Amino acid sequence: MTQFSPYWWQDQPQYSNDNEPPSNADIVVVGAGYTGLSAAITLAKSGASVVVLDAEDIGFGASTRNGGMLGSGHKASTAQAIKRYGEKTAQEIHKEANSSLKFTIKLIKNNNIDCELQECGRLRTAWIPKHQTDMANNMNDLKSIEHFDSHMVDKSSMHKHINTELYFGGQLYEGHAAVHPRKLHYGMLQLALDAGAKVFGGFRVDNIEKVTESFDNGFRVYASAQVISCKKVLMATNGYTRAGLSKYLARRILPVPSFIATTEDIGTERVASLLPGGNCMVETRKRFCYYRATPCGRRIMLGTRAAMHPITPQQALPTIKKMLTGIFPSMEGVGISHCWTGFTGFSFSNLPSLGEHKGVYYALGYCGNGVAMAPYLGHNAALKLLNPKKQHTVFEKTLLNTKFYYHGNPWFLAFSSVIYRGQDIIDGYLSNRAKNN
């Protein structure tokens, strides 16, 4: 029987704070995911009094629903970044992607966070031959900016990494890793609490009000009949940003769902036979799949864009099964133990952003790459709050834009689902033609 809740939540502790939030704090952080907790750790260690508020139970959102893949990189290519921001800024964007991975792995290791860290590498698989060529060219361009440990894997060597004939090669990122995302989140929560931050779940922030028009006089934060006076506010809500709280941010962040499932226990030998390289895997096709062995090595977890618009896990399950057996035909008939969904936060630039609007700071827009980037940007957001006059990260330059047709309701994502399916059909045709030649 499939459970329609995250596999990562199974047998994990649930934190709750039975106290009431204080009426005063130096800083209020809205959102208790990786971003908010990382910011709280840095702020509390600096001596600031910090209150973190979340509308749901602590750990409800994408920070504990994701695939647990730690990687560098962005949805925007270097060429796109150069066109939009110039060559120097584009280079900094690439360098900080690498920095985010190093930061989060260091955070885990230095604080002995028990999150089943596996430095297993990640293989990006080419869906059609052209993708292999494009990846090789892009890798060389990026290495000319800053070296990172990555190399191409040709089709004849793919069997060392994965037992399927589906792909035309890939690019292996040696430094990428995997974690148990719920355990990483809980470890960061404990660090924030130990540093002195106060964290509360079930406190939905309904309004953030400036005390006066003067920037220095602070804010009142209204949450579940509580009022907290504070000097500064950080929004760390990403894909769960509500228009009712911030129309400005809700117009600039798209809540794009992802759908994930885990197989039943199929044993370590069978998992190892399917994924002999032990790597995390991610595809180049538009409606891409990302998958890995679970930390126990006895199941396979697979995520995909079953739809670009919200549907239920029950509705997504047939598509996920089809994707799984498309990669591994021998998995036909294998049961699915868990299936769930969560929202990633996409910006229109396909890059994260750290900024300020009317005195309220924000850090969000990870575009599906938040496991490494969110702790990193949360830390830099804290530094920005402590020293607003200094630039702490290049993502202060990647300003959030919106579109005239978007007002917080992503009505057009249903059409995007159709377009992506069409692109996959075309790429599928090209893939089959290449295999038959």
The CB density around residue 14, as the number of other CB atoms within 10 Å, is 12
Is 177 within the bounds of a domain? Answer: yes
The pLDDT value recorded for residue 89 is 93
- Residue 294 in any domain: the answer is yes
Q: What confidence tens digit (pLDDT) does each residue in 165-221 have?
A: 999 999 999 999 999 999 999 999 999 999 999 999 999 999 999 997 655 579 999
- How high is the pLDDT of residue 214? 54
pTM for the structure as a whole: 0.95
* pLDDT tens digits, one per residue of 350-392: 999 999 999 999 999 999 999 999 999 999 999 999 999 999 9
Number of domains in the chain: 1
Average pLDDT over residues 401-419: 87
What percent of the chain has a predicted confidence (pLDDT) above 70? Answer: 99
Average pLDDT value for the chain: 94
Query: Is residue 279 one of the residues assigned to a domain?
Result: yes
Distance CA 63, CA 40 (A): 15
Please name the residues in contact with 303: beta carbons below 8 A apart, sequence gap of 6 or more. 67, 258, 259, 260, 261, 289, 290, 291
Residue range 237-256, pLDDT digits in tens:
999 999 999 999 999 999 99
Please report, for the domain that includes residue 67, its CATH number: 3.50.50.60
Could you please report the per-residue DSSP string of 109-123? HHTT--S--B---EE
Point out the least confidently predicted range of 14-23, 305-314, 381-390, 415-424.
415-424
296-313 burial, b if ≥16 CB within 10 A, otherwise e? eebbbbbbbbbbbeebeb
Confidence of residue 79 (pLDDT cuts 50, 70, 90): confident
| Residue 1: inside a domain | no
Going by C-alpha positions, the residue among 48, 44, 54, 186 that lies closest to residue 108 is 186
User: What is the pLDDT averaged over residues 275-291?
Assistant: 93
Q: Is residue 2 part of a domain?
A: no
Identify whether 342 is part of a domain: yes
pLDDT of residue 229 exceeding 80, the answer is yes
**Residue 359 resides in a domain:** yes
- 3-state SS, residue 45: helix
- Residue range(s) defining the domain that contains residue 77: 7-436
Please tell me the predicted confidence (pLDDT) of residue 301.
Answer: 98
Task: Return the SS3 of 235.
Answer: strand
- Asked if the structure places residue 165 within a domain, the reply is yes
